Chains A and B, each alone.
Chain A
Amino acid sequence: MSGVIDPGARGVQVVLRVAVAVAFVCAVVGMLGDAAIHHAAAGVAIGVIIAAPLVRVLLLAGHWARLGDGRYAGAALVLVAVAGCGALLALL
């Protein structure tokens, strides 16, 4: 399969663009004041920057699986699992 160009997962581009826009707007609102709405907006911004990279890896895993690139799809899923295990271990 070496040499075949990966067309790229379109969903990743869309998710990243939406995540950037939502995180930026919410972060701007969040830093402008101390009211509940500002606090909530800041929380959404941080939630988005935490979730976006993990969603990106999951979308890549799905895209690679559809391309028949099972080895790297599996690696992506293992990476998400390792990240999850790390978070769990840190919480213990």
Chain B
Amino acid sequence: MQWTELLLSFATSVVGALGGLGGAILLVPLLVLTGVSPRAAAPLGLVSVAGGSLSASAMQTRERSVNHRLGITTELAASTGAVVGVLASGWASDAFLQRFLALVAIAAAVLGGRRKGVRNLPDPALSLDDVGEHVGSLSGAYVLDGGVVPYKARRLLTGSGLFAVSGLLAGMAGASGGFVKTPATSEVMHIPVRVAAATTTFTIGLTAATGLGVMAVQGRLDLHECAAVCVGSMLGGRVGAMLQTKLSPPQVRRVLSAVLVVVGVVLMVRA
């Protein structure tokens, strides 16, 4: 039994699903600290993201908190950026990229943590029948404390630009980029943080699956360790998704900000 991988992937996936970040950004450095080589830790990080995302997705889809149209639209920019980033990797040093990502994470933490209250308020005219995403647009409604809150994505071009940059950096630095996507969706595009986190959980699973497919073909997966991380991350993803529905948006933002600060510090130290 790989107890270390199992327990670490569980704990980091709870936090990852809660904030829509994916657990890899925390899991990979922790595995390296326990003696796993960075080359072996990278695929385990992707297994953690893919497993946590899949586990959380069943619940988030049932509660209709994921806006799939928004996720796919923004992921197009991020994936294109990631492909360019992979091809361009080597243009900037890993240390520079990690320091840059650390600053982005800390700036996102400050932006999200500074905002008070709830931006999108319940509309009494809406009922539970109105919950979900709208056909043909990047808008929808979700349930908050028994009320139904409408939302509509704003500044799509700016948001997509940030996603492309996050994908570019992720492709160059090998990070998942979830810690940029959730704050960008919430703070720039004005999507409620719970919807932003659930939607990002969906998209990072897609990104991780693509990366894992490549690593599987390259023979870089230790299936025994991957299985342990898969179990831990699936349990953690489910617990994180459940906790996400219990917390208020300001609480989710505070947790997200705290985790982003930790991520920023971890990245800065690694650099």
Contacts and interface: CB of A to CB of B under 8 A. Distances in A.
B111 interface: no
B76 A75 contact: yes
A44 to B, nearest CB: 10
A69 B136 contact: yes
Most-contacted residue by chain A among B51, B73, B133, B213 (CB, 10 A): B213
From DSSP, what is the main secondary structure of chain B's interface residues? helix
Nearest to B218: A91
Interface residues of A, number: 59
Task: State which size class the interface on B falls in.
Answer: 35 or more
A60 to B, nearest CB: 5
B136 A2 contact: yes
Contacts of A6: 132-135
B139 interface: yes
Nearest to B67: A6
A37 to B, nearest CB: 12
B150 to A, nearest CB: 9
A24 B137 contact: no
B212 A49 contact: yes
Interface in A25-80: 26-32, 34, 38-39, 41-43, 45-46, 48-54, 56-57, 60, 64, 67-69, 71-72, 75-76, 78-79
Interface in B174-202: 202
Interface in B108-161: 129-137, 139-140
A56 to B, nearest CB: 7
A46 B230 contact: yes
A22 to B, nearest CB: 10
Given A27-B227, A50-B213, 15 more contacts: A13-B61, A17-B58, A19-B54, A20-B58, A24-B231, A27-B51, A30-B227, A31-B224, A42-B223, A49-B54, A53-B57, A53-B202, A69-B136, A72-B136, A79-B72
